Chain A
Amino acid sequence: MIGDRRNAFKVDKVLVVLYILLVGFGWGNILSSSVTGEIGSLLNINELYGKQLVFILLSSVLILIVLSIEAKFYERFASIFYILSIISLIGLFIFGKTVNGSTSWYGIGSFTIQPSEFAKVATSLAIAKFISDLQTNIKLVNHQLKLLVIIFLPALLIILQNDTGSTLVYFAFFFVLFREGVPKIYLYTIGLLFLLVVSTIKLSLITTICISFIIIFINFFRKRKKRNSLIKHFGVIIFCTIFSFSVNYFFDNIIKQHQKNRISLWLKLENNPEEIEKMKRTILYNLNESEKAISSGGWTGKGYLEGTRTIGKFVPEQQTDYIFSTVGEEWGFLGSSFIIVLFVLLLLRILYLSELQKNQFSRVYGYSVVSIIFFHFLINIGMVMGLVPTIGIPLPFFSYGGSSLWAFTLLLFIFIKLDSNKLNEW
């Protein structure tokens, strides 16, 4: 205990500095994109930037609490956190408040909190706990199924609240499972399925089936010495065909129109220039405005608080999901690249530290942290620049919002705490 206390604040300084930079820079951009007219008191909670500053101050309290608690506590109570989190998600069906079509908020007066953000932390802890359990063997299908249940139970609850973006985040845990030793066939299968989906939608059903048939056929003749490979290859062909058919059906009939639009935009299915122009004014509006704002930044940007498209509030939801367009416009190529480098450094640093962990729980948890932050980073910035389909999830540490900021703070600092404790492990 004494040793533990001594190490209580012996934290990884690199991570803390990166965290402070990201949060600080994020707040500066929230100020820029939400300010109207004169900047009054920075703590004015009637303004978004004022509120966010309050959230940031409260985060530092949260950090102190996280770092003060004994590291073992997180491992021991992981299951409890998970169960509490699931209960809070279920509770939304009764007490939830609907914002923008998603019932993912608890509202207490003007204060709202989004449990799905915290569920990521709880799920990370639960996975780490389950995998690091001595009785767990990740190679066993039985245990893999249990893991999938742990991961996708909160995901299911979240998608039922109509929050697709937050649900997709749970797929990020695959990186963790892969690191911890699920068979490689899963990676290949996921890769294959992804290619099949894209190819079916972009090229057409028949083309996809033909291509997969030819590839598998060539593969079969390369390896024909094996006896049972004929049946195996035939099975793959059948699987591909059925999967392509179901993707086709799913895309045409099941998913919602706006999601369909987003995918068709991403894959550039529409070729008629008039239609594209029309789309730029309707479904493509946000993306179009955000790309315009970013490209208008040039090398060095228009200067802080000088972005004409930011001042004019041309990009909707600019403080939240589209915050990166403010960076692009006002700080230009140099500033935006700097932010990307910060994120990459943060992720690599956590990865590096995770691999140093002697305790499997800490390592798995560290991997979860990287996976979640990476997924958010990939989807959010990719979306703002038009590289991935529109999926509304926040940019970690950057976007406006208390729940998101606190959840990511918790996520990161629990890891920092675990990491600071690694010397005490044996």
Chain B
Amino acid sequence: MRKSLLYFAVIIVGIIFISRLFYLQVYSSNTYDIFEDNAIRKVFTYPKRGYIYDRNEKLLVSNQPSYDVMIIPRNVKDFDTLEFCKLLKIDKDFLIKRYNRTKKYSPRIPQVFLAHLSKEDYGYLAEKIRKFEGFYIQKRNLRDYNTNIGANVLGYIAEVNNSIIEKDAYYSMGDLIGKQGVEISYEEELRGIKGIKFIQKDRFNRDIGSFKNGDLDIVPIAGKDLTITIDSDLQKYGELLMNGKKGGIVAIDPTNGEILSLISAPSYNPNLLIGRNRSKNYMKLYNDSIYKPLVDKSLLNMHAPGSPFKILVGLSALQEGAISEKTTIFCDNYYQYGKEKRKMRCHCGGGYRNLNNAISLSCNSYFANAYRKTIDNKSSTKESFNKWSEQMKSFGLGKYLNNDLSVGKKGIIPDFEFYDNWYPDFKWGATTTLSNAIGQGEVLVTPIQLANMTAVIANKGFYYTPHIIKKIEGSTIESKFNTRKYSLIDSVHYDPIINGLSEVYKTGTAKFLQVPGIEICGKTGTSENFTKIDGKKTQLTDHSIFIAFAPKDNPTIAISVLVENGYYGSRWAGRIASLMIEKYIKGEVTLKKMEKLVIEKSLANEYEKPFLNKPFKINQ
């Protein structure tokens, strides 16, 4: 035993050690994964974000580098403050304030000390930053806007927030993501795929060089360039015309559903949302509760369609046989209906009205009659009303367009159940809902829906989903944008309506809006609207609405214009529509006087009225 004790001890310890090694290295060790290795820092490398071009291949959005001075307060050592301030063009108070603030926030976490250095300042500082321990320069990619229009269409990018990081594994803290417009709709195409660089760390978490000379690094994949359907000249012109006015303009190419312009007024210069003053500017825009420049009114502003809706009422009546092309009524400047002999006023001037001049003069009585006959000509209101509702919806109203714009509203096309919930106690009928006939009832639409409806009429019965994308570098656009969606109205019924719309420009409500050389079909609209002032429902000046398409044969543009509180349709919306059409079709505008009038008109006094705390008059 005395001789063998040490032999045993040595062998047993050897066995224990090898077993322990087996346990540590083979049994409990997973296969080596570089992502799990915390000795290797994984740094994302960001690809170029895709550029955005307009339909004429004009570059709208590109990228620019931006340099932030970062600070890790804990690592800051004594340094030459005078030189530092001079390099950054800041004063000493700012330096001290900033330093204390970052240190209070966290001494360890890297924070932005000064954002968005100019290229020139960066050049000087880059050489000397080594002297200032605890500071370093971080490069970021910012958008570079070659234009100051179309902010609502183009959108902007900003740092991704936590809720997205939690939902989408692709994003991590500090990544940039599209926040509005095309930037958000085509985020995946634009962003590309970020790469990864592996960096060897030491135990103090310092980088000591690239891992295996970067052999394992994952190269980022560049974002794709986009061409959008917007005609930037037309967009710019539309924004100019909307100067001083609230509202939206949507112009669509009816032959393919491409959105030629999508104007929300007032908008903002997209350059405001990049660079050093981004958050200040953003808050200013965000807090503007009168004009709400961050809200895309062409997509989100729901309003009563007004008279343009009569077109659909007429089409439905034709389809259902409630009226024919030749149906004539006599207008008494009002339309009397119901047991109480209620009257709906009409401004057409009175007299015999057929379909053609009922449209051109926007006769309320004619369409009230047509609507009544449509709804009441079947045995059950439910059946006829729901059919009518489906027909309206087939124009893209009362439902989401399901397109590639980041926001949208459904609007309202009421159906039988809608009113049945309202009037559970009695049998309601056409007269109960008669204001729908003139686009003034429960129907609500957005400007883009109106434009799309106009495109259906221009196409005599179908539309392509309005979309903003024209071309994606290296891939094709979704097929849903190339398929026709048909309305529930037979195409034969469109001709008399289109003739009526043409008549609007010749002899009707828009006769003074004619554009030489272009036969335009259009329809004016005036939409009553209300707001709440101190809890009291108060009527405001009517919205000025206009829809149009041109030329009459083979239309190339369908447009809807909404000028909030602009009063009657032809006053502002009609003028803007005519100017836009001329601009698009001719490339230049000859109606200089009208153009000047529109551009110079500001409706600021209208928009201020509800906020002045005193009684006001409307529709002046």
Residues of A within 8 A of B (CB): 36-37, 175, 178-179, 181, 187, 289, 291, 294-299, 302, 306, 308-309, 311-316, 328, 332-333, 336-337, 340-341, 343-344, 347-348, 351, 355, 367, 370-371, 374, 377-378, 381-382, 385, 387
Interface pick from B32-40, B405-413, B606-614 = B32-40
State whether A371 touches B32 (Cβ < 8 A).
no
Overall SS of chain B's interface? helix
**Distance A37 CA – B210 CA, assembled complex (angstroms):** 11
Closest to B209 in A: A37
**Distance A36 CA – B24 CA, assembled complex (angstroms):** 28
State whether A297 touches B29 (Cβ < 8 A).
yes
Q: Given that A308-B40, A312-B201, A374-B13 are contacting pairs, would A385 and B24 also be in contact in the complex, using a CB cutoff of 8 Å?
A: yes
Taking CB atoms, residues of chain A closer than 8 Å to B28 are 295
Taking CB atoms, residues of chain A closer than 8 Å to B16 are 387
**Distance A378 CA – B13 CA, assembled complex (angstroms):** 7
Q: Given that A178-B2, A340-B17 are contacting pairs, would A333 and B32 also be in contact in the complex, using a CB cutoff of 8 Å?
A: no
State whether A294 touches B10 (Cβ < 8 A).
no
Min CB distance A308 to B, Å, is 4
Q: Given that A377-B13, A381-B17 are contacting pairs, would A296 and B32 also be in contact in the complex, using a CB cutoff of 8 Å?
A: yes
Which single member of A298, A332, A374, A385 contacts B6 (CB below 8 Å)? A374
B256 contacts the other chain (CB 8 A): no
**Distance A299 CA – B6 CA, assembled complex (angstroms):** 30
**Distance A289 CA – B203 CA, assembled complex (angstroms):** 10
State whether A311 touches B39 (Cβ < 8 A).
yes
Given contacts A302-B32, A351-B6, 13 further A-B contacts (CB under 8 A): A298-B29, A298-B32, A308-B39, A309-B37, A312-B208, A314-B202, A316-B203, A333-B21, A340-B17, A344-B10, A348-B10, A374-B6, A387-B17
Closest to A377 in B: B13
Closest 4 CB pairs of A and B: A344-B14, A308-B39, A312-B39, A333-B25
B11 contacts the other chain (CB 8 A): yes
State whether B25 touches A328 (Cβ < 8 A).
yes
State whether B9 touches A299 (Cβ < 8 A).
no
12 contacts between A and B (CB under 8 A): A175-B6, A298-B25, A298-B29, A308-B211, A311-B208, A312-B203, A336-B21, A337-B18, A341-B18, A344-B14, A348-B7, A382-B17
Closest to B20 in A: A385
Closest to A373 in B: B10
Contact string, B194-206, partner A, CB cutoff 8 A, digits 1/0?
A: 0000001111000
State whether A179 touches B6 (Cβ < 8 A).
yes
**Distance A340 CA – B211 CA, assembled complex (angstroms):** 31
Taking CB atoms, residues of chain B closer than 8 Å to A314 are 39, 202-203
Taking CB atoms, residues of chain A closer than 8 Å to B283 are none
Taking CB atoms, residues of chain A closer than 8 Å to B2 are 178-179, 181
Taking CB atoms, residues of chain A closer than 8 Å to B24 are 291, 294-295, 328, 385
State whether B31 touches A298 (Cβ < 8 A).
yes
B5 contacts the other chain (CB 8 A): yes
Min CB distance A121 to B, Å, is 19
B26 contacts the other chain (CB 8 A): yes
Which parts of B38-81 form the interface with A (CB within 8 Å)? 39-40
Overall SS of chain A's interface? helix
Q: Given that A328-B21, A337-B21, A381-B17 are contacting pairs, would A298 and B10 also be in contact in the complex, using a CB cutoff of 8 Å?
A: no
**Distance A270 CA – B22 CA, assembled complex (angstroms):** 26
Taking CB atoms, residues of chain A closer than 8 Å to B25 are 294-295, 297-299, 328, 332-333, 336
Min CB distance A74 to B, Å, is 22
**Distance A289 CA – B17 CA, assembled complex (angstroms):** 18
Min CB distance B209 to A, Å, is 8
Min CB distance A125 to B, Å, is 19
State whether A387 touches B20 (Cβ < 8 A).
yes
Taking CB atoms, residues of chain A closer than 8 Å to B212 are 306
B167 contacts the other chain (CB 8 A): no
**Distance A306 CA – B6 CA, assembled complex (angstroms):** 37
**Distance A298 CA – B212 CA, assembled complex (angstroms):** 19
Taking CB atoms, residues of chain A closer than 8 Å to B201 are 312
Taking CB atoms, residues of chain B closer than 8 Å to A178 are 2, 5
Closest to A316 in B: B203
State whether B10 touches A340 (Cβ < 8 A).
no
B3 contacts the other chain (CB 8 A): yes
Closest to A333 in B: B25
State whether B21 touches A374 (Cβ < 8 A).
no
State whether A179 touches B21 (Cβ < 8 A).
no
Min CB distance A173 to B, Å, is 12
State whether A340 touches B32 (Cβ < 8 A).
no
Q: Given that A295-B29, A377-B13 are contacting pairs, would A333 and B22 also be in contact in the complex, using a CB cutoff of 8 Å?
A: yes
**Distance A393 CA – B3 CA, assembled complex (angstroms):** 27
Interface centre among B20, B24, B37, B208 (most CB of A within 10 A): B24
Min CB distance B596 to A, Å, is 71
**Distance A79 CA – B431 CA, assembled complex (angstroms):** 127
**Distance A294 CA – B22 CA, assembled complex (angstroms):** 10
State whether B10 touches A313 (Cβ < 8 A).
no
State whether A312 touches B200 (Cβ < 8 A).
yes
Min CB distance B584 to A, Å, is 62
**Distance A381 CA – B212 CA, assembled complex (angstroms):** 30
Which parts of B369-403 form the interface with A (CB within 8 Å)? none
Which single member of A181, A299, A341 contacts B14 (CB below 8 Å)? A341
Min CB distance B605 to A, Å, is 66
Closest to A36 in B: B208
**Distance A371 CA – B10 CA, assembled complex (angstroms):** 10
Closest to A344 in B: B14
Min CB distance B111 to A, Å, is 24
**Distance A233 CA – B16 CA, assembled complex (angstroms):** 35
State whether A351 touches B10 (Cβ < 8 A).
yes
Taking CB atoms, residues of chain B closer than 8 Å to A294 are 21, 24-25
**Distance A385 CA – B17 CA, assembled complex (angstroms):** 8
State whether A367 touches B26 (Cβ < 8 A).
no
Q: Given that A313-B202, A314-B39, A374-B10 are contacting pairs, would A179 and B3 also be in contact in the complex, using a CB cutoff of 8 Å?
A: yes
Q: Given that A296-B29, A308-B37, A385-B24 are contacting pairs, would A371 and B6 also be in contact in the complex, using a CB cutoff of 8 Å?
A: yes
State whether B20 touches A367 (Cβ < 8 A).
no
Closest to A337 in B: B18
State whether A343 touches B31 (Cβ < 8 A).
no
**Distance A197 CA – B203 CA, assembled complex (angstroms):** 36
Taking CB atoms, residues of chain B closer than 8 Å to A37 are 209
**Distance A358 CA – B32 CA, assembled complex (angstroms):** 53
**Distance A291 CA – B28 CA, assembled complex (angstroms):** 11
Taking CB atoms, residues of chain A closer than 8 Å to B9 are 175, 374
Min CB distance A298 to B, Å, is 5
Interface centre among A328, A332, A336 (most CB of B within 10 A): A336
Q: Given that A181-B2, A340-B18, A344-B14 are contacting pairs, would A298 and B7 also be in contact in the complex, using a CB cutoff of 8 Å?
A: no
Taking CB atoms, residues of chain A closer than 8 Å to B10 are 344, 347-348, 351, 370, 374
Taking CB atoms, residues of chain A closer than 8 Å to B202 are 312-314
Closest to A340 in B: B17
Taking CB atoms, residues of chain B closer than 8 Å to A348 are 7, 10-11
Min CB distance B146 to A, Å, is 45
**Distance A381 CA – B203 CA, assembled complex (angstroms):** 22
Which single member of B5, B37, B211 contacts A179 (CB below 8 Å)? B5
**Distance A387 CA – B24 CA, assembled complex (angstroms):** 12
State whether B37 touches A296 (Cβ < 8 A).
yes
Min CB distance B21 to A, Å, is 5
State whether A343 touches B29 (Cβ < 8 A).
no
**Distance A340 CA – B21 CA, assembled complex (angstroms):** 10
Closest to B40 in A: A308
**Distance A328 CA – B28 CA, assembled complex (angstroms):** 14
**Distance A306 CA – B18 CA, assembled complex (angstroms):** 23
Closest to A182 in B: B2
Min CB distance A65 to B, Å, is 29
**Distance A337 CA – B212 CA, assembled complex (angstroms):** 27
Closest to B2 in A: A179
Taking CB atoms, residues of chain B closer than 8 Å to A297 are 25, 29
Min CB distance B550 to A, Å, is 69
**Distance A356 CA – B397 CA, assembled complex (angstroms):** 105
